[in-house]
Structure 1
Amino acid sequence: MERRVYMFVDQVKVHIKAGKGGDGLVSFRHEKYVAYGGPFGGDGGNGGDVIFEADPGMTTLLDLRYHRKIIATPGEKGKNKKMHGANGEHKVVKVPLGTIVKRSDNNQVLADLTKPHQRQVVAHGGRGGRGNWHFRSSHNTAPKYAEQGVLGEEFDCIVELRVLADVGLVGFPSVGKSTFLDAVSKARPEIGDYPFTTITPNVGVVQTGDGRSFVLADLPGLIEGASDGKGLGHQFLRHIERCRVIIHVIDMGAEDGRDPLKDYEVINNELKSYQIRLLERPQIVVANKMDMENAQENVRRFKEKYPDIPVYETTTIIHEGLDAVLRKAADLLATTPAFPITEDTGETGVMYTFEEKKKDILIEKEDDGVWNVSGPRLERVFDINKLNTEEDFYLFANKMRYLGIDTALREAGCQDGDTVRLLGFEFEFIEN
């Protein structure tokens, strides 16, 4: 049998860069009959955001595989006559329903898109700088400086697709999951007599005989060691996290020579090893291929070992016994809440972990007695190379006060005459 290959992409690492804010303008009013025109430079535009949007028409992250850099447009510089520079255009990235976006450095979840056309800003654009007219005062009526635009957020992130389905079919390869989905929905998964026929999730809408409906996913087959990444491993387990009910399909005919009781134990152990919350989901055990010679004996053995577990006997190839399974699934969905997405951190039931946010400004006294001022916000705001004129230093001092650096230095114990080091630039701290 010829095997078809599907390009299904469910995890991509991309680099995201929001737009930089436009610089403010230094300009002066020069008009006839207008005395002492004064500063007239406008503000820079804000940088564009990077926005992710859930598109119901998409089923894979294939587009992102070929576009690993996502960059929003920067804001324009300020203009004369106090005119505001244009804001940068937002970059909208369309992804399938069920997509999660998280930072690659600390696993912080930035977006979880589960509703059609849901939007989430993942990276914010920088604020535009103020024009020189903002800095006029009675002491400085003609400021010759303006603010620079702030850099937009920039980082690497992981984009993951986790299939949105109410009920998930699990089991070893070739136990009949694809045939089950084909029999109860209009989905047409690839069906074959070889392991791992299903290498990508297939999803279909199922309707019970009493009119209830839900979304059913045929997920790639598990094998022993999947929780450690063997076989399709985490590619499979990632998708089952969305499901509220699990249909566990077992080959009771033992067509591949495996023991059905052992299969049941192995699959549940893999679900438990990956994440304990997967076993908190209600599970329906389906004894499939009941038309096989050894099926009745294996069902008897299973019921003897697990007397408290209901078993639904089916023969999916002839559509026998399926309606009872669907009704039971619908009943369980009516009473089972959604499970929050969790991250496998080695601890039980731990939600996504967040790194403590780095302080914007950090003040430390070095061994040589110099006060060192550092922090990510300073790197975005200050450009020491532009301290060339008296106006530049005046603006520098204003920024120090605006960010509260001078106050923070005093509280840390900095005294009049002490040396302060900021981004490689040293200056003397002077009390006013």
Structure 2
Amino acid sequence: MVKWRLELALVLATPVMSAWGCALLAGLEEPPVVHATTGVGAGGGGAAGEGGTGGGTGGHTDDGGAGGTAGEGGMGGSGGAPCVPVTFSVVEAIPDTDTRRPIAITGDATALYWVDEGEGSDEPAIRKLDRATGLASTLAVTTPKRPAATIVLDDLYVYWADSEQEPPCSGNPPPARDRVMRVLKTGGGGPLPVWVNCGRAEQLALLGSKLHWTRPSSHQVRRSNKDGTGVIEFLHDDPSDLDEPFSMALDDTHIYWSDVFTGKIMIRAHDVNTLTEFADAPVNASILKESWVALDDTAVFWSSSEGIYRKSKGPQASTPTRIAPANVAATVRGLALHEDTVYFTESINGAVWQVCKGGGQPQSIVAGQSQPRGIFADGTGVYWVNRGNGTLMRALR
């Protein structure tokens, strides 16, 4: 009986064949376009056998966790569930949004919110779509300011950044040309300034009671209370430390951001004024000078001219893994995470993609889009904006 248990445990602990191996056996010309990855689920521990002292530990493979190894006197656990592409029931333009050139989008349980940079007689504005009624409305008009491709929310407010190119940032004090703003989600009370100065704010991020924004041309990341009080240079004004910070993401311990001049992802602990290089993120400025950053509980994700990468959190973390190659992710203009999946827009090729966080074959959600930009995902589906033809799009589960 002991021998039988041991043989069964060894069988259950054998790793599942990877997607690469399956492709080779099937006679495909190429394996999936991803390096070795880790499955989303780990195998469960084996239950203790009769007289055994403990369960086995779970394993990891390319296609979900393998069966756990047997504990002393116990059998191995079953394999973890692999990440599978999300299936969408419908992909369509949202009707009657009355928008012209949308560039960023986000949402909550009741509404979608987006930035429309306007064109001609159509003024730049911050707009809202009620999910229940389908009615679109304008929360704020930013004229004569041009909004940046960033929009974030808290329970009460919508936040954005806008700017002008003239007058130049000279004189003392400098002209109050560029802004970070907020407006109630209801639209009541009109837009309110959070920060006004000279030097464009590019990307925003919220963490608790604090609002952060990058200023690439000023070599800064700034932070304030959400009402605009307590503004500080969170990362100091020194080109030797900060060149051109662009996109950023924060958790309770660190801030991560992309530097589109050096082509790096950087990291800094909130309580330590020391910057550390986290990973390479090369940018081909002749095509697109952007690199987008997002994170979940365990890993950081970013776009570069060479594709989309994932790396475990922390300054001493593991080597980055490419999860989407450059042929589908060289000009990413929007990056979003939800559950086990990374979603992104590829602007030049006009496509919207998904790929499992652990890697695998990227799957096209839809092609033929007109300059897709910002993207947002939640439990209902994926939402993005097409700047080229002024549409808000959705792929519903």
User: What interval of TM-score do these two structures reach, taking the shorter chain for normalisation?
Assistant: under 0.3
Normalised by the length of structure 2, the TM-score is: 0.23
Structure number with the higher strand fraction is: 2
Normalised by the length of structure 1, the TM-score is: 0.21
Structure number with the higher helix fraction is: 1
Decide which structure has the larger Cα Rg and report it: 1
